[in-house]
Amino acid sequence: MTQPTAYQGRPVTPAPGSAATELRVARLRSHARRLVWSALVLIGVAGVVGYFWQNLPAPFEDWMLFAAAGLIVLLLVVVPYIRWLSHTYTITTRRVIERSGLFGRRRSELSHARGYAISERRGPLQRLWGAGTLTLTGADRTLRLANVPSVRLVHETLADQVEVSQILAHRDSHSIPIMPGDPPPLP
């Protein structure tokens, strides 16, 4: 059961007193521009291996070249990619969740209903790529969303979610209790 709205296109709000379901609004990672160096290293290693394969000086063998290339690719390409892949930000209709770590998971969250201040910082390179860093300062903790792509859109979405959550929390705290049965007679 939902509340009817007078405006077309507005989201349907849950009835007073009923539990609102938590929906995922967005799931994002930091901007992938930090992987540019890894991609350049991968291209460079492939070029060097292609050039020196079966063309090495006398004391060296091809397996040494492949072992060195594999180690460089593992340390400078695979590890940064896995670190980038394992750090996510999730925005739901109730909270913002930051998850990181591959083996030992770390999780931090901030509720929209409690409210928080949103500050945005964008450096010159972040402006060029459309990214930025959002700092959410709540009553008890601070959550930092680093290098978020489309930072203006994420900032606007977070502000909207805080507003809607606080409106729903205020409405539910002041709602009129619904009594079962027939309504009382009018005077």
**CATH number of the CATH domain containing 165:** 2.30.29
Q: What is the pLDDT of residue 11?
A: 58
SS3 77: helix
Report CA torsion sign: 102, 91, 145, 30: positive
pLDDT digits (tens, 9 = 90+) for 18-75: 666 888 999 999 998 889 999 999 999 999 999 988 888 888 888 899 999 999 999 9
Number of domains in the chain: 2
Q: What is the pLDDT of residue 80?
A: 94
How many Å apart are CA 29 and CA 27, to the nearest integer?
Answer: 7
Q: What is the pLDDT of residue 169?
A: 73
Looking at the fold, whether 117 and 52 belong to one and the same domain comes out as: no
Q: Can you tell me the mean pLDDT for 73-90?
A: 94
Q: Residue 40's domain spans which residues?
A: 34-84
Q: What is the pLDDT of residue 39?
A: 96
pTM: 0.73
Looking at the fold, whether 168 and 119 belong to one and the same domain comes out as: yes
Q: What is the pLDDT of residue 73?
A: 96
Looking at the fold, whether 74 and 142 belong to one and the same domain comes out as: no
How many Å apart are CA 11 and CA 61, to the nearest integer?
Answer: 66
Alpha-helix residue ranges (DSSP H) falling in 24-176: 36-52, 62-73, 79-85, 124-129, 151-173
Give Cα separations from 122 to 57, 138, 185 (angstroms).
49, 21, 61
Report which of 8, 28, 174 is spatially closest to residue 88, judged by C-alpha positions: 28
How many Å apart are CA 18 and CA 6, to the nearest integer?
Answer: 20
What radius of gyration do the chain's Cα atoms show? 26
Q: What is the pLDDT of residue 62?
A: 86
Looking at the fold, whether 74 and 105 belong to one and the same domain comes out as: no
Place of tokens 């090495």: 56
Looking at the fold, whether 149 and 78 belong to one and the same domain comes out as: no
How many Å apart are CA 40 and CA 31, to the nearest integer?
Answer: 17
Per-position DSSP letters for 20-38, written without gaps between them = PPP-EEEEE-S-GGGGHHH
**Structural tokens at position 22:** 């938590």
